[in-house]
Amino acid sequence: MPAVKILIVEDEMVSAMSLAADLEDLDYEVVETATSGQEALQFVLQLQPDLILMDINLAGSMDGIEAATEIRQRFNIPVVFLTSYSDDKTLARARQAGSFGYLLKPFKTPEVRASIEIALSKYQEEISLAEALTQAQSDSQQQWQYLAIAAHEMRTPLSIIQLAKDLLESGQGKLSPEKSAQYFGRIHKAIDTMSQSIDNALAIAQLEAGKLIYNPILLDLDAFCRETIEELCARTQSIFNITYEIQPDLASDRFMPALDRNVLQQILSNLLSNAIKYSPQGGEVTLSVTYSTSDVAFAVQDRGIGIPAEHLDKLFQRFERANNVGKIKGTGLGLNIVKSLVDLHGGDIKVESEVGVGTKFIVTLPCGVRS
């Protein structure tokens, strides 16, 4: 562990040299000794010490408290004051400067060590608290952002359902079977959109609360994949062609991997829904599965709009969407959730994409196997 770097600011050279010797005996690194507030500011900028021991009564236009105040504001480095006085007025000024402690002259070695360690500990607690507060504010902002997006996303399918319902009611006995089927299809799609939003909201809440637990069970993989595709097609009234293939052929190989059924279903549903969303009507989507005794790989490929190369690095960040999506609606949460679920499963996700050609997501999950 590197030694703590300390800057001494003291205009009495005998006192400064004695303190420096004590610090080196205590295994601290004295990076420099400044004799004025202005010089201290220069050394802080150049040397970036971990802690400063600052004499309050410095000669010149800037005393120790003024120097410490500027250092605190500009560099946020902890300062321990050195003083021969402990009057209330001086201590009050020192507190306003954000002091991390005091050392009364003449110095005693045990007190020097104790003051430094307490100051460093206090400073680290302050940094940790500030980071926690920043994270809490960021989380709160993201939650509000998600609620706003989710509310907007819910409003659209609700409007579609309301409109289709009104048209069906007003056209009772007058609508052709084809027109009725069209309106019911719109309702089905809108309900699926809302269902996906609700599933994503629950996944985010469980992931952030640490309550989504990895729970693997032995899975009939072939049947599971077929059911997932059938359910997706039924829910979305999909006019897309979803092709499914698995290798080796499970008919001759009774392959039973241990995977979390709920997590896997959400991963595949999100990826397949995305593939459909960003493909032209009547487009082809492929789910390919390959496996070994140690892992299973799921590849979802579309021939849709593709993802710009400059966006691939931030694709799995929350609320991120590529700049070529146009009017295609979305929250920017689906792939972030997929990545979190893959991580929960101890797996890996990769993406290959070319604008105007299509996109391929490859999810690899470890598994225990029983044949």
| pLDDT tens-digit map of 237-267 | 656 678 888 877 655 566 788 898 988 988 9
Mean pLDDT, range 278-306, rounded to an integer: 88
- The pLDDT of residue 317: 82
In Å, the largest CA–CA distance within the chain is 104
Q: Is the pLDDT of residue 1 over 80?
A: no
- pLDDT (0 to 100) of residue 50: 94
Domain ranges across the chain: 5-107, 140-209, 217-370
CATH topology of domain 140-209: Helix Hairpins (1.10.287)
Task: Compare 78 and 209 and report the one with higher pLDDT.
Answer: 78
Residue 20 confidence (pLDDT) above 60: yes
Instruction: Provide the CA 314 distance to its chain's centre, in angstroms.
Output: 11
Higher confidence at residue 301 or residue 100?
Answer: 301
Per-residue pLDDT at 330 exceeds 90: no
pLDDT digits over 6-19, tens only? 999 998 899 899 99
Are the CB atoms for 366 and 342 separated by under 8 Å? no
Determine the pLDDT at residue 119.
87
Poorest-pLDDT segment among 61-65, 115-119, 195-199, 342-346: 195-199
Better-scored residue on pLDDT, 232 or 326: 232
Mean per-residue pLDDT of the chain? 81
The fold of the 217-370 domain, in CATH, is Heat Shock Protein 90 (3.30.565)
For residue range 177-205, what is the model confidence (pLDDT) as tens digits?
A: 777 777 777 777 677 667 766 776 677 76
pLDDT confidence band for 369 (50 / 70 / 90): low
Counting residues of the chain whose pLDDT is more than 70, the rounded percentage is 77
Tell me, what's the pLDDT at 53?
A: 94
Indicate if the pLDDT at residue 365 is higher than 60: yes
Query: Which residue has tokens 């689906």?
Result: 334
The CATH number of domain 5-107 is 1.10.8.50 = no
pLDDT tens profile 121-173: 888 888 887 777 767 666 666 666 666 666 656 666 677 677 767 767 776 66
pLDDT at position 371 over 60: no
- Can you tell me the mean pLDDT for 342-365? 92
- Reported as a pLDDT band with limits 50, 70 and 90, residue 370 is very low
Average pLDDT over residues 99-123: 85
User: Residues 48-94: pLDDT tens digits?
Assistant: 999 999 998 888 888 888 999 999 889 989 999 888 766 677 677 77
This prediction's pTM: 0.52
